[in-house]
Structure 1
Amino acid sequence: MDNMAEFNKLAVAYATEYGTKLVAVILFWLVGRWLIGLVGRMLHGVLERQKVDPTLMRYIGNFLSVTLNIILVVAILGYCGIQTTTFAALVAGIGIAIGAAWGGLLSNLAAGVFLVVLHPFKVGDFISAGGVTGTVKEIGLFITTIDTPENVLAMVGNSKIFGDTIQNYSANAFRRVELKCQLAAGADHVEAMQLLRAKLAEVPNVLAEPAVQVEILEFVPAGPVLAVRPFCHNDHYWQVYFDGNKMIRESLAEAGFPAPMPAQMVFVQKTFP
């Protein structure tokens, strides 16, 4: 009976001790999670008032949430009497292993942060980066999604974009369209240049300022080659490009300019018996 009483007393003592710790751990976890959520909402409000980019807000919010949750777990383990130094070393080792295995992903993540902070382009811009040209649809954590003019959705790693030359065609108010015109060798190039300046200015969406540029680009055996350069908004680039080529062909034909012919030099060698 004495042994049974002693056992019951010991069981009650252990149950009380561990039960109290269990309740304390549950309360600790619930209060900690509530405080983490409160801090996250406060940070979100501060960043929102500062008009921080939404993508950057998600980066900061996720990083803070993960960090605070790790601190909460370590604190709970320390309260329970578990050696947290070993746990911290284990977490650090896992972090190093993940970092080595996911080095590419982490570099994409870091590049994504810089893309958001430095803001070389935004969603909706027409860019050329990472070997892809098109309209930016989304700037993600690891990849940037680009819609190409061929209606192909391309997903490019952020590190490749950030490590390459970025051309933002939407950043400036207008863009120059590069066209060429081959004249016949006997054609009056001065008259042709004046005609093209006037006709290209009539093409829809061609800007009056800067004015259309028409100059001699180079000379080839068939005749002089003209550089024809109208200016337009980026949204109208291909419309001006195709309408400009059509206008060059039709205006020169209506004005009676001869079609350029390929030049060939024939050498005749007379032999004597």
Structure 2
Amino acid sequence: MDVKIWLASIAPVATAIGFKVVGGLVLYLIGRWLIGAAIGVLSRVLTARNLDATLQRYIANILGVGLNIVLVVAILGYFGVETTSFAALLAGVGLAVGAAWSGLLANFAAGAFLIIFRPYKVGDYIVGAGVEGTVTEIGLFNTLITAPDNVAMIVGNSKVSGDIIKNYSAHAHRRVDRTAQLAFGVDPLEAIAKLKPALAAIPNVISDPAPDVEILDFNAMGTVLAVRPYCHTNHYWQVYFDTNKLIAATFGAAGYPAPYVVEELRGGKAKS
């Protein structure tokens, strides 16, 4: 009988707690759906206004963090937690965490400056903070860079902004620097005349500025040519490798000998 009385007494409490938990779960799910919908609407509005993709992601991240904090406070208030005290506690914790994680705040501030001053944007190919690749995302604290070998690299915004940044996408074209070694006895002017028109025929090599082929240096093997076609950054590696193939094919078709070192011996004679 005591057990029945006890069960009867706690049943209303358990039922109330159960409804409370279910209500909190429903509130959470509805809140998450509303947050996703709000971010989606904001993204569509910003896209319709042709706002830069980098800035869109940054604003969406800030909105998402803010709305999630509001949702947590609302759920705590629903469960009877004094939200005013919680807000004060949250502010105090935020201050303590901010002091301890000053690096994160520095990254956050650096991210804002990256958005404002725009040394690079999403889609640019850059070198900075010791890494190289295409900028995939500029987040609240980090920049995501995808390397040419498809490895994702996450770098703190403050580290990137505090370093020298090379932005290869800042201009319409980029120069590909290659060299071609000629053997002694090969006429460099003839080699230049063969290479220049062939370079212009490589896919994605632009005509303005026209490809450069000039005498760069002389060494123990003969003459060194500078071979420099121009292309868009997106086609850099394709033009780079095609230029190497072109040099080998052109010199092979012309019958140029392989370069070799000529050494001066005593008595004025030379050996190779």
Q: Distance in 1 between matches of 2:123 and 2:49?
A: 23
Measured after TM superposition, the shift of residue 51 of structure 1 is 6.3
Measured after TM superposition, the shift of residue 62 of structure 1 is 6.6
2:224 match: 225
**Equivalent residues in 2 for 1:1-273 (5 A)?**
48=46, 53-58=55-60, 61=63, 94-267=93-266
Q: Distance in 2 between matches of 1:236 and 1:109?
A: 33
Aligned in 2, Cα 1:91/1:202: closer, same or farther, shift over 3 Å? closer
Q: Distance in 1 between matches of 2:264 and 2:96?
A: 71
Q: Distance in 2 between matches of 1:56 and 1:132?
A: 22
* 8 Å CA contact retained: 1:177, 1:240: yes
Deviation by residue 1:132-172 (Cα, 9 ceiling, x = unmatched)? 11111111111111111111111111111111122222221
* 8 Å CA contact retained: 2:58, 2:138: no
SS at match of 1:251: helix
Measured after TM superposition, the shift of residue 92 of structure 1 is 6.8
* 8 Å CA contact retained: 2:182, 2:221: yes
Measured after TM superposition, the shift of residue 243 of structure 1 is 0.9
Amino acid at match of 1:57: I
Measured after TM superposition, the shift of residue 126 of structure 1 is 1.5
Measured after TM superposition, the shift of residue 200 of structure 1 is 1.1
SS at match of 2:196: helix
Measured after TM superposition, the shift of residue 256 of structure 1 is 2.2
SS at match of 2:179: strand
Amino acid at match of 1:213: D
Q: Distance in 1 between matches of 2:153 and 2:138?
A: 12
Q: Distance in 2 between matches of 1:51 and 1:245?
A: 41
* 8 Å CA contact retained: 2:61, 2:139: no
* 8 Å CA contact retained: 1:218, 1:224: yes
Q: Distance in 1 between matches of 2:62 and 2:251?
A: 61
* 8 Å CA contact retained: 1:187, 1:257: yes
Q: Distance in 2 between matches of 1:105 and 1:265?
A: 63
Greater shift, 55-64 or 111-120, is seen at 55-64
Unaligned runs of 5+ in 1: 1-36, 70-79, 269-273
Measured after TM superposition, the shift of residue 64 of structure 1 is 7.2
Q: Which has the larger radius of gyration?
A: 1
Instruction: Give the share of equivalent positions with the same residue, in percent.
Output: 48
Q: TM-score of the superposition, structure 2-length normalised?
A: 0.68
Amino acid at match of 1:146: I
What do you get for the CA RMSD once the two structures are aligned?
3.3
Q: Distance in 1 between matches of 2:127 and 2:104?
A: 22
Q: TM-score of the superposition, structure 1-length normalised?
A: 0.67
Unaligned runs of 5+ in 2: 1-34, 72-81, 268-272
Q: Distance in 1 between matches of 2:233 and 2:101?
A: 38
